[in-house]
Amino acid sequence: MCAKTGLRNFVLVIRHVKMENAQEYCSQLHQLKAAIDEKRLELSNRYGSSSIKTTLDRTYLWQPVNNYCSLACKQHLEEFFTQNTGKFWEDGILKLPERCSSDNEEDNSIDETQDTAECLVPCTKRRRRSTVCGSARVSSTPTRQRICSADRAKLIDKALTKMIALTLLPISTVSNPGFIQFMNVIEPTYKVPSAPTMTVRINMAFEEIKKAVLSKLAKVDHVALSTDCWTSRAQHSYITVSVYFIDETWTPQNYVLETQEMEECHTAQHLSSKLQFIIREWNLIGKVTAIVTDNASNILAALRLMNNIIEETEDVTCSAHSLQLSIYKGLQIDDINCIINKASKIVAHFKHSTVATNALQRAQEQIQSEKKKLIQSCRTRWNSTYFMLERLIQNRIPVETVLSNRTVTSSAVAQKLEVSEYDWILMENLIKVLKLLQMAITFLCSDTMSPTSITRPIIRTVLDNHIQINEDDDNIIHQLKETVVSDLTDRFRLNWDESESPNITINQLASFLYPRSKDLLAEPVAVRSKIRSIIAEKIHHEETQHEEAENTQINCLDFLFQTNSNVNNPQTQLSHYLAEPQISHNMDPYEWWKNHEKRYPSIAKLAKTYLAIPASSAGSERVFSTAGNIVTAKRSSSDPDLFADSDRFEYSETKIQIWIRIIRIIQGFELQ
C-alpha cells in the first residue's frame, strides 16, 4: 500500500531530523495523515468501513499517525521532543528505537504518554501468538546494540583521560575488571583502552597543553616563579616550580611547570642548576623578575648564584612562611607550649580510644551539638595548633562529660588529662590572637588575589590594629603578642633608623604600584619618597630602552600651539598617578589597571611586572599536598622516575596539573 511505503520512508527520514527542522517534518506528517484519511475513506466506501479500519489498524498506518498528529497538534512536535530530550534527542539528532509496538488487537488506542517513537515504526512481520501458556509472546526480532561511533569513542577517550587526572586515579584503573564491566553497561561496544595506551594519550594531552602554555608565556615580557621542595615516605626528594604572570587582559595566571626528583644534595649549587635548567626548558631566560621561596638558607643562597638570570634575588621570601615562623616562635613560650601539649594529649586519647570517641558522640547528641571530631596538631604546621584548640573549645562540654564519666574514663587517665578553668580561659585567649594571624596567612596564600604588594600593608595592619598589646592582657598573652610583634617587625624590616638610608625591598616597590596601597600609608614619609624615586628611575630606564618613534615626534599642531605631543612622558605619568585616589579594598586592582593602562602606559608596564610576584610560595607547596596522596604507603616504593615521567601524567598536581589548571582557571581552553 502506498501509505505504508510513505510512512516507512518518513520514519527513515525522521530518524535523523535536526531539532530546528522539526516544524517542517511536523507539517509533512500532517500531509501524510491527510493522504491516509483520503485512502481510508476511499477503501471504506468500496469494501466497508469495519474491515478496512481493522486492516489499517493492524498494519499500524492509521492509528500511529493519528495519535502522533494529535499529539503534535496539542503540544507542537518540536516542543514535545525538547521536553523529552532523554528519550528522543542525542546531540541535536532525533533517535528513534528500532522496535515496533505490539499488534495486540485489544490495544485499540495508544497511550499518548508512552514512548511515541514506538508507534511510528511499522511492523515488517506480524508477530504470532505463542501456544505456550496461551497468552505468552515470543519476539523473533533480535535485540540490536547501538554501535559506538568513532567520534563518540574519541569523546569517551578524552573524558576518561580527564577523569583519571582530575580524580587522582591510577592509570591501571582502565584495566580494573569492575571498571570494564561498568563501561560495558554504559557503552557496550566501546573498547576500553589499555593502561599503556592510556599513558600515551595522557602524554600526548600533556604535550598539547605544554605547547599552549609555552604560547601564552611567549606573549608576556616578565614572569615570577615560586619553588618548594618535598621528601616522600620513601625518602625521595622532589622540587616543584610554578609560574605567575599577568596576561594582556590584566588577569593573574599561574601554572605548575615542573615536578622533578632532586637526586643530589640540596646544596645551593645543585638547586641553582636545577632552577636554571627549568627556566631554559620553558624559554623564560630574561623574563624572570623574582623567585619566591621559603626562608631556608640553601635556597636563598641558590638565588644569589642566579643574579645574572633573575632581576630580584633579595627579599622575595614567602611572606606566609615568615609569618608562620614568627607565630611559631611565640608558641614556644613555656606556658603556652604546656597548654598546647595538654590539649594534644586530650585529642590523642579520643583518637586512640573508640570507647571514648563513641561516648563523645553521645555527649554531643545530648546537648544537641554538631558532631565534630577533634583535630590533632602537627609540629610542622602551626595552624593545626590553632584548629586543634578551636575544635577543643567547641567541644568543651562533651569532652568534660566524657572525662568525668568513670564508666568510660578511668580515674588515672582523667587525672592526667585534667584541664583547669584557667587553662580553658587561656585556650580561648590564644584562639582570639591566632585567629587573626590565621586569617592573614590564608589571604597571603591565595594564588590569584595576593601579590607581594599586599604583604607589608597586611602585616602593618595586623600589628597596629589586631594584636596590639593591651593593659588588661593576661601575662602569657602579653608575652605572646610581644614576641610575635617583635619578630615580625624584624623579619619584614618595619622599623627604619632615620640615621641610615632606607633599604627598599621589592615588597615596597610593588605596594606603590598596587592601587589599593599606592599612598604607602604603612611606610614612614622618608621611605615613601625613596620608593617613588626608585620607581621613577625604573620607568625612565624602561622608556630609554624601549623608546618608540611615535612617542617622540611632535606633530604640526603641537608645534604651532607650542605643545609637546608627548604629554604622557614618564614624569607626567608619575605625577598624575600620584594624584589618583587610592582605591578601596572592595575594588579590583587588576580591573583598575586595565582601565588606566592607556593613561599610564609606562607605569602599567612596571605594575604588570611587579604585581605578578606572589606573596607566598603556597602554590608550589600545594603540589606536594596532593603528591602525598599519590606516593602513599602502598606506592612509596615506586621508582622516582616513574613519578617524574609517568605518575606526573597520572595525577593532577604534577605535570598534568598544567592541564587541569588550564581547565579550571582559563575556562574554554580545551583540548581539540
pLDDT at 326 over 70: yes
Cβ contacts of residue 133 below 8 Å, gap of 6+? Answer: none
Instruction: Determine the residue type at 235.
Output: Q
User: Among the three residues 54, 78, 94, which one is the final residue of a domain in this structure?
Assistant: 94
pLDDT tens readout for residues 176-211 = 999 999 999 989 999 999 988 988 888 888 888 888
pLDDT at 170 over 50: yes
The single-letter DSSP state of residue 582 is P
pLDDT tens readout for residues 122-162 = 444 444 444 444 444 444 445 566 788 889 999 999 888 88
Which of 7, 184, 224 has its CA nearest to residue 100?
Answer: 7
How many residues belong to the chain?
672
Cβ contacts of residue 632 below 8 Å, gap of 6+? Answer: 233
Which of 228, 157, 171 has its CA nearest to residue 645?
Answer: 171
Whether 86 is covered by a domain: the verdict is yes
The top-scoring range by mean pLDDT among 163-172, 275-284, 314-323 is: 275-284
- Say yes or no: 310 and 440 in one domain: no
Whether 272 is covered by a domain: the verdict is yes
- Say yes or no: 159 and 302 in one domain: yes
- Say yes or no: 161 and 286 in one domain: yes
Half-sphere exposure of 435 (CA within 13 A, CB side): 9
- Confidence bin at 102 (pLDDT 50/70/90): very low
- Say yes or no: 199 and 252 in one domain: yes
Residues paired with residue 591 on neighbouring β-strands, in sequence order: none
Cβ proximity of 222 and 608 under 8 Å: yes
Q: What are phi and psi of 224, to 5 degrees?
A: -120, 150
pLDDT at 4 over 70: no
Cβ contacts of residue 650 below 8 Å, gap of 6+? Answer: 164, 165, 168, 169, 170, 171, 202, 630, 656
Please name the residue ranges forming H helices in 267-333.
268-281, 297-304, 319-331
Average pLDDT over residues 417-441: 93
CA angle centred on 360, ends 357 and 364, rounded to 5°:
145
Whether 312 is covered by a domain: the verdict is yes
- Confidence bin at 233 (pLDDT 50/70/90): low
Average pLDDT over residues 18-23: 51
Average pLDDT over residues 364-379: 90
Average pLDDT taken over every residue of the chain: 76
- At 378 the pLDDT is 85
- Confidence bin at 23 (pLDDT 50/70/90): low
Cβ proximity of 383 and 437 under 8 Å: no
pLDDT at 669 over 50: no
- At 593 the pLDDT is 97
- Say yes or no: 65 and 176 in one domain: no
- Say yes or no: 369 and 471 in one domain: yes
Whether 175 is covered by a domain: the verdict is yes
Average pLDDT over residues 34-57: 60
Which of 417, 418, 377, 369 has its CA nearest to residue 394?
Answer: 369
- At 78 the pLDDT is 45
Residue whose cell numbers read 595525577: 651
CA pair distance 447, 665, nearest whole angstrom: 11
Could you tell me which residue, 492 or 7, shows the higher pLDDT?
Answer: 492
CA pair distance 265, 122, nearest whole angstrom: 78
Whether 114 is covered by a domain: the verdict is no
User: Among the three residues 61, 76, 94, which one is the final residue of a domain in this structure?
Assistant: 94
- At 145 the pLDDT is 67
- Say yes or no: 268 and 327 in one domain: no
Average pLDDT over residues 531-537: 93
CA pair distance 314, 301, nearest whole angstrom: 10
Give the number of domains in the chain: 4
pLDDT > 90: what percent of the chain? Answer: 42
pLDDT > 70: what percent of the chain? Answer: 66
- What domain range includes position 190? 149-317+616-632+651-671
CA pair distance 314, 493, nearest whole angstrom: 13
CA pair distance 64, 161, nearest whole angstrom: 45
Could you tell me which residue, 399 or 628, shows the higher pLDDT?
Answer: 399
- At 67 the pLDDT is 52
- At 227 the pLDDT is 92
- Say yes or no: 608 and 659 in one domain: no
CB < 8 Å & 24+ apart, contacts of 371-379: 374/346, 374/347, 374/350, 374/399, 375/347, 376/344, 376/347, 376/348, 376/351, 377/340, 377/343, 377/344, 377/347
- At 619 the pLDDT is 73
pLDDT tens readout for residues 600-628 = 999 999 999 999 999 988 877 776 554 44
- Say yes or no: 601 and 621 in one domain: no
Cβ proximity of 142 and 129 under 8 Å: no
CA pair distance 662, 670, nearest whole angstrom: 8
The single-letter DSSP state of residue 267 is -
Average pLDDT over residues 49-54: 51
C-alpha to C-alpha distances, 309 to 100, 213, 305, 390, nearest whole angstrom: 74, 21, 9, 45
Among the residue ranges 357-371, 438-452, 571-585, the one predicted with the least confidence is 438-452
Whether 8 is covered by a domain: the verdict is yes
- At 136 the pLDDT is 41
Among the residue ranges 118-122, 314-318, 614-618, the one predicted with the least confidence is 118-122
% helix, strand, coil for the chain, step of 5: 55, 5, 35
- Confidence bin at 262 (pLDDT 50/70/90): confident
pLDDT tens readout for residues 504-520 = 899 999 999 999 999 99
- Say yes or no: 172 and 230 in one domain: yes
Report helix angle 62-75 to 22-47, nearest 10: 140
- Say yes or no: 594 and 623 in one domain: no
- Confidence bin at 116 (pLDDT 50/70/90): very low
- At 260 the pLDDT is 83
Grid cell at residue 385? 595548633
CB < 8 Å & 24+ apart, contacts of 173-176: 174/198
pLDDT at 544 over 90: no
- At 43 the pLDDT is 63
pLDDT at 357 over 90: yes
State the DSSP string of 99-123: -PPP--TT--S--TTS-THHHHSPP
Could you tell me whether strands 89-90 and 93-94 are parallel, antiparallel, or unpaired per DSSP bridges? antiparallel
- Confidence bin at 565 (pLDDT 50/70/90): very low
CA pair distance 636, 532, nearest whole angstrom: 52
- Say yes or no: 570 and 623 in one domain: no
pLDDT at 630 over 90: no
Whether 643 is covered by a domain: the verdict is no
Strand order in the sheet with 223-231: 252-261, 237-246, 223-231, 288-292
Whether 177 is covered by a domain: the verdict is yes
- At 503 the pLDDT is 84
- At 450 the pLDDT is 81
Rounded (10°) CA dihedral 476, 445, 376, 170 = -170
